[in-house]
């Protein structure tokens, strides 16, 4: 019975996620489609054409951001638990984010413990850190440093992610992870951190965030090590 209950609960979460994603992607696509329809009408002058095209572009970018925050790595309906080498997985995500860091003059420093294995879904783990790294880089519009450190104890694997960015106010920090909460006017989904928290929860991990307005942010993740979280 217990097992059954857990399964039902998980399915619910997956279904909610699925519904939210298709809703969030369908809205901008429907809007884009509407503007294309207007473009196809007969008497559209050049300036109107430009205006509609730029609206279409904005809507497509919006759909793309939602896909990036949710689906870069994973099909949300699938959860596969395997043994993950934390250092290995973080390096993989860092390689993907490196071009974005370069573009923003963000230097990446790593300090990885030699070992550290956890049990979890590889794709979701990568999605989680992609979202966190992306936010960190976006918080440093005029450059800075992104530091990633791992620590290993027999029962936990710790991941620290620190940036030297704009930081958050107390109010912003409190709202972190709330669906659709974003300070990136028109350029954010407000879904990235919600995804992060839900992945951390699914992996039986914890996340603490420290931030100072104007003084950077540190994310403190702790996951049960593989032995303590049964493969």
Judged by the rule CB under 6 A, the positions of this chain that interact with ligand ADP are 131, 135-136, 139, 163, 165-168, 172, 176, 181-184, 188-194, 217
CB of 144 to ligand ADP, least distance (A): 10
135 binds Mg ion (CB under 5 A): yes
- Residue 136: name its binding partner from ligand ADP, Mg ion, none (Cβ under 5 to 8 Å by kind): ligand ADP
192 binds Mg ion (CB under 5 A): yes
Q: Which is nearer to ligand ADP, 119 or 199 (CB)?
A: 199
Q: Which is nearer to ligand ADP, 155 or 169 (CB)?
A: 169
From 87, 105, 113, select the one nearest 95 (Cα to Cα).
Answer: 87
CB of 81 to Mg ion, least distance (A): 26
Q: Which is nearer to ligand ADP, 119 or 193 (CB)?
A: 193
Asked if 101 and 108 count as a contact pair (C-beta separation under 8 A), the reply is: yes
205 binds Mg ion (CB under 5 A): no
216 binds Mg ion (CB under 5 A): no
């Amino acid at each position: 019975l217990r097992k059954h209950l857990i399964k039902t609960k998980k399915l619910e979460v997956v279904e909610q996620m699925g519904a939210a994603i298709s809703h969030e992607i369908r809205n901008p696509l429907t809007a884009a489609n509407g503007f294309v329809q207007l473009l196809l009408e007969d008497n559209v002058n050049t300036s109107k054409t430009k205006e509609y095209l730029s609206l279409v572009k904005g809507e497509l970018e919006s759909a793309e951001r939602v896909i990036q925050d949710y689906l870069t790595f994973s099909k949300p309906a699938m959860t596969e638990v395997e043994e993950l080498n934390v250092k290995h997985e973080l390096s993989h995500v860092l390689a993907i984010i490196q071009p974005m860091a370069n573009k923003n003059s963000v230097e990446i420093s790593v300090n990885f413990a030699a070992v550290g294995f956890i049990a979890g879904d590889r794709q979701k783990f990568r999605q989680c850190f992609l979202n966190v790294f992306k936010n960190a880089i976006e918080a440093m519009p005029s450059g800075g440093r992104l530091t990633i450190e791992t620590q290993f104890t027999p029962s936990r694997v710790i991941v620290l992610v620190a940036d030297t960015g704009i930081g958050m106010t107390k109010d912003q920090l409190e709202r972190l992870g709330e669906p659709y909460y974003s300070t990136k006017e028109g350029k954010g989904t407000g879904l990235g951190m919600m995804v992060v928290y839900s992945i951390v929860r699914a992996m039986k991990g914890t996340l603490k965030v420290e931030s100072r307005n104007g003084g950077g942010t540190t994310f403190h993740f702790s996951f049960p090590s593989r032995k303590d979280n049964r493969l």
